[in-house]
Structure 1
């Protein structure tokens, strides 16, 4: 049976029991309250549990039209059904025009249960429509990701405050530094997380009536009316302190924010001028800290790289040692040896942007997972290009998976088109991978690894360098 919670406006106990009996026969488990005065109906409507109002038409203390008016004033959208033995067609039509959803003659009570079922269904549809409309209204004025106001609302609010009585008005302009780098290397999901964290931090020092909006991809702005008691530099310092604290508590991927503010005290001066001044101050702040902000992100990514399980096992150190032996054996110049040493440590930097579920998967990767894995040289290249300490090895990071026969990635280079540092690294990396445990397989013996290197000389590996490497490892 379907549970039905009904307010029944009825002064006759016999008619009440008749309605309840008919509804139960129609498949409803009825929970009801009976009222017969306007005041009792008003009080009953304060309880949100009721789903419907069923009312007799003519009663001494509360007629159906009066009950309908009480329901309307309550703001509740409940079905209202009139049940009467005396209502005429003209009265019934007038009641429907006034807002009643149906009327049932007492000599046709079999219609009551189907009418209730229909009106409950229609009421649920109206409820869902209102919910959908509220969502659309919210989205039209808010940023879906952060929940902040959007640019449309911000501009409208600025227009509303223009020439009003809430001067002085402070503007705050904020821009998330290094956001493109975070998106390119760590992915959109991580970028979204940083955006939400930034939005939450920016909102902390603001007052209830202030307006904070996401006005661009990585740009935020705030309107602070009635700002006579606000301290602009203090506000910016509070935000920077909150960001610093967040970074200490969430060291995996720190972020920084460029900030600016301006105050408009003259109602005759367009507010847009003050907003532009705040934005200009923010961009100057951005110029002053862009390099340090990028280095902060890169250093965090490097730290994440060295926390990876196979890195912690000494992978980078073993690669650096063997690569330098190879480089010296072929008489590389000192600057190239230095680059080789560095790229041996950071060549997999782009893997910080690869999900652990792929990176440490036990078993073979699917084609889709391989496509994601093969993105790491380009991710690493983009990271390295933003760091003064890594710029000179960015091209080596990009090319470290190129193969001698041209079947490597991402550029498909072949033979001596591939930098010798990358050809060395490819051999050493493969040997280390084969002779140490990985999530997807156990280590080979040294003899098995040598056999595999020889088998792939001339296809995957530079055959001349293979001979040199085999001499080195004895």
Structure 2
């Protein structure tokens, strides 16, 4: 901009575009996914403008277009055209959604500096971004969830079944409607952090190495960061972080014990394990329900809340194949 002003070249307006959600994508899916969004945005902008206009990246997630000719109406039309092409890109591309917040400023008087036009356009963009930020972040989160479902066969239908189970248990416990709504979110998005785990780890058929296990366990922290960035998921961010804690303190990431683990996480833990056991996998058939029940009883008091296991089984209306004493009864026998 400084060089352009010194050269005396004309600039009738400035458009500023900010790529929404770039940091969130970089933090969760990696910089390669973020770079793909930057390239898609750059390609759209380059196609839309004349060779006499200047299209430049001016920051990590920001682009500026300096227009050599045109009045205010022309510049407004150009800004609207950017939004139309972004919408078309999202309709035709199966990848992550592209979201650009766009602001513009037009020269109103002779001698108006380019840098002042840029500041005005940037301020207008920021106001628009603030207005659209919630829907943009929600769009990114929803697409991340779809990306997870597309990558991981384990999640196919899993979230819907989990939602039904955890809500039934919560209703049996008399939890409020507000907590039921949050539990539904947890059931759907508890593993959203897996979008940030490499495929070679997520899909490895053999046992994970110690290093790979540590990497896999990062999905709780990644999911927490995604949820913190979304107003829709912020209420369940803490539960997403803690959903792999075990009753006896041997879970992760914090090693919480007993009732220091949120109730919602303890409910989800039982439902998640039960669904995993009874569901078919490409490499094995699901267990009969009665065998899965035996496993829940076996790990009641270590992995699972021993008081919640019988409540879960009552709601699910399933019984063990053989007579198995619940953990609480076993403790009495000892």
Return closer, same or farther for 1:326/1:340 CA change in 2, 3 Å cut-off: same
Aligned with residue 473 of structure 1, among 308, 315, 318: 318
Cα deviation for residue 230 of structure 1 reads 8.5
Return closer, same or farther for 1:437/1:360 CA change in 2, 3 Å cut-off: farther
Contact 1:255-1:293 at 8 Å conserved across structures = no
Return the alpha-carbon distance in structure 2 between the equivalents of residues 324 and 289 of structure 1. Answer: 32
Cα deviation for residue 442 of structure 1 reads 4.5
Aligned with residue 395 of structure 1, among 235, 238, 259: 238
Partner of 2:262: 419
Contact 2:72-2:106 at 8 Å conserved across structures = no
How do 1:145-160 residues align onto structure 2 when only pairs under 5 Å count? 158-160=1-3
Cα deviation for residue 444 of structure 1 reads 3.1
Contact 2:48-2:82 at 8 Å conserved across structures = yes
Return closer, same or farther for 1:260/1:338 CA change in 2, 3 Å cut-off: closer
Provide the secondary structure at the position in 2 that maps to 1:204.
helix
Return the alpha-carbon distance in structure 1 between the equivalents of residues 211 and 43 of structure 2. Answer: 35
Return the alpha-carbon distance in structure 1 between the equivalents of residues 71 and 272 of structure 2. Answer: 63
Cα deviation for residue 280 of structure 1 reads 1.5
Q: Does 1:299 align with 2:299?
A: no
Partner of 2:221: 378
Q: Does 1:316 align with 2:159?
A: yes
Return closer, same or farther for 1:370/1:261 CA change in 2, 3 Å cut-off: same
Question: Which fold has the larger relative contact order, with Cα–Cα distance below 8 Å and residues 6 or more apart in sequence?
Answer: 2
Return the alpha-carbon distance in structure 2 between the equivalents of residues 232 and 393 of structure 1. Answer: 42
Provide the secondary structure at the position in 2 that maps to 1:213.
strand
Return closer, same or farther for 1:262/1:416 CA change in 2, 3 Å cut-off: same
Partner of 1:119: none
Return closer, same or farther for 1:330/1:168 CA change in 2, 3 Å cut-off: closer
Partner of 1:162: 5
How do 1:43-54 residues align onto structure 2 when only pairs under 5 Å count? none
Partner of 1:43: none
Which protein is richer in strand relative to its size? 1
Partner of 1:456: 299
Aligned with residue 196 of structure 1, among 31, 36, 39: 39
Cα deviation for residue 353 of structure 1 reads 3.0
Return the alpha-carbon distance in structure 2 between the equivalents of residues 229 and 325 of structure 1. Answer: 58
Cα deviation for residue 439 of structure 1 reads 5.1
Structure 1 length normalisation: TM-score? Answer: 0.61
Cα deviation for residue 366 of structure 1 reads 2.8
Partner of 1:39: none
Contact 1:167-1:266 at 8 Å conserved across structures = no
Deviation track 1:70-97 (CA, whole Å, cap 9, x = no partner) reads: xxxxxxxxxxxxxxxxxxxxxxxxxxxx
Contact 1:168-1:227 at 8 Å conserved across structures = no
Return the alpha-carbon distance in structure 2 between the equivalents of residues 225 and 324 of structure 1. Answer: 59
Partner of 2:25: 182
Contact 1:360-1:439 at 8 Å conserved across structures = no
Aligned with residue 183 of structure 2, among 340, 345, 348: 340
Return the alpha-carbon distance in structure 2 between the equivalents of residues 217 and 170 of structure 1. Answer: 22
Unaligned runs of 5+ in 2: 320-334
Q: Does 1:244 align with 2:108?
A: no
Return the alpha-carbon distance in structure 2 between the equivalents of residues 193 and 317 of structure 1. Answer: 31
Partner of 1:272: 115
What root-mean-square deviation, in Å, do the aligned CA atoms of Structure 1 and Structure 2 show?
2.6
Contact 1:162-1:267 at 8 Å conserved across structures = no
Deviation track 1:356-398 (CA, whole Å, cap 9, x = no partner) reads: 4433332222333323322222232333334443332222222
Aligned residues: 316
Return the alpha-carbon distance in structure 2 between the equivalents of residues 197 and 250 of structure 1. Answer: 10
Provide the secondary structure at the position in 2 that maps to 1:473.
coil
Return the alpha-carbon distance in structure 1 between the equivalents of residues 166 and 260 of structure 2. Answer: 19
